[in-house]
Homo-oligomer: A and B are copies of this chain.
């Protein structure tokens, strides 16, 4: 049982699902977002509105924190200028504040888009080199390297969870491989928090999908064993899928539509279009 966990992005689509599970792992949960709380607070939960790119807003929240779960960010491609504060600078602020407060670990919502230009059929491991597909992905590369720096120079641990397709159900053929169920998201973050020691490491956030394109074999020590399998939805999805096109990088690279979206334009919109067409 930890004394205190700080969760950022607590009002977000994924972050909000972590509030209840994290509240059970600590005496005090501080949920942070730039927005208001989206639902009732747990008994040991407090809500703090703050901009994670502002050191003086973040610093007081960190006092006494043992673990920080950092999910605040714009979850899509934008221009570099738009992402600079919420996705790049906020990472620096969070790590620096966490370090100064004596926290032990940061669990980070990294993304497949840090390695989105790798071929889907390459079967990469967690130690494949960075190949971002967007400025969004670049912000994840930046933060992972920052996390490694803080570990190697300052002993602040980090678990970078590269989230793939975190949706209620898998939504398109790509997601048969890349889906991360709600339950598996929670399990992954729980393991990232309760693993006794981690140093710096990276884990792929996907469910136990038959068609998983990547392997967590090298970080099995974390104990993340996903339970859900997108294959349960395969027949439905494939029946209404658009025609496959191996010349389309959006179908051949891990990043999916982010692999072809112009830099600075929304990849989620591209994803949505893909789904509609499907």
- Chain A interface residues (CB < 8 Å from chain B): 1, 80, 84, 88-89, 92, 96, 104, 117, 119-123, 126-127, 129-135, 137-138, 141-142, 145-146, 148-149, 152-155, 157, 173-174, 176-177, 194-199, 201, 209-213, 215, 217-225, 231, 234, 238-239, 241, 244-247, 251-252, 262-263
**A68 CB to nearest B CB, Å:** 15
**A210 CB to nearest B CB, Å:** 4
A78 to B155, CA, bound (A): 20
Complex contacts, A146 vs chain B, CB 8 Å = 138
Contact A198/B154 with A132-B149, A217-B215, A220-B215 known, Cβ cut-off 8 Å? no
**A158 CB to nearest B CB, Å:** 11
B121 touches A221 (CB 8 A): yes
**A129 CB to nearest B CB, Å:** 6
A155 touches B263 (CB 8 A): no
A148 to B137, CA, bound (A): 12
**A80 CB to nearest B CB, Å:** 5
A231 to B201, CA, bound (A): 21
B80 touches A92 (CB 8 A): yes
A104 to B123, CA, bound (A): 22
Q: Pick the contact of A244 from B104, B130, B224 — CB < 8 Å?
A: B104
A and B contact pairs by CB, cutoff 8 A, 11 listed = A104-B244, A123-B218, A123-B221, A130-B145, A135-B149, A138-B142, A138-B145, A196-B241, A212-B221, A213-B221, A215-B217
Contact A148/B121 with A196-B244, A246-B198 known, Cβ cut-off 8 Å? no
Complex contacts, A198 vs chain B, CB 8 Å = 121, 246
Q: Nearest 4 CB-CB pairs, A to B?
A: A123-B218, A211-B223, A213-B221, A210-B223
